[in-house]
Copies of this chain bind each other. A is one copy, B any other.
Amino acid sequence: MKTRFVLIETSHAGNVGACARALRVMGFDDMVLVAPRWANVLRREETIQRASGALDVLARTRIVATLEEALDGISHVCATAMTARDFGPPCRPPREHLAALAGQTPHPVGVAFLFGSERFGMRNEDVYKAHVCLQIPTAPDFGSLNLGAAVQLLAYEWRLALGGFASPVTPASSDADAPADAASVAGMLKHWEEALVALGFLDPQAPKKLMPRLQQLFNRAAPTPQEIHILRGIAKCMSQAAQASNGHKR
Contacts and interface: CB of A to CB of B under 8 A. Distances in A.
Interface of A: 18, 21-22, 24-27, 50, 52-54, 82-84, 86, 88-91, 93, 95, 133, 135-140, 142-146, 148-149, 152-153, 156, 159-160, 164-168, 170-173, 177
**How many copies of this protein are present in the complex?**
2
A149 B90 contact: no
A144 B167 CA distance: 15
Given A84-B171, A91-B168, A137-B167, 8 more contacts: A18-B149, A25-B142, A52-B144, A53-B142, A84-B170, A135-B167, A137-B160, A146-B148
B168 A84 contact: yes
Contact of A25 (B145, B148, B165, B166): B145
A170 to B, nearest CB: 4
A90 B177 contact: yes
A142 B91 contact: no
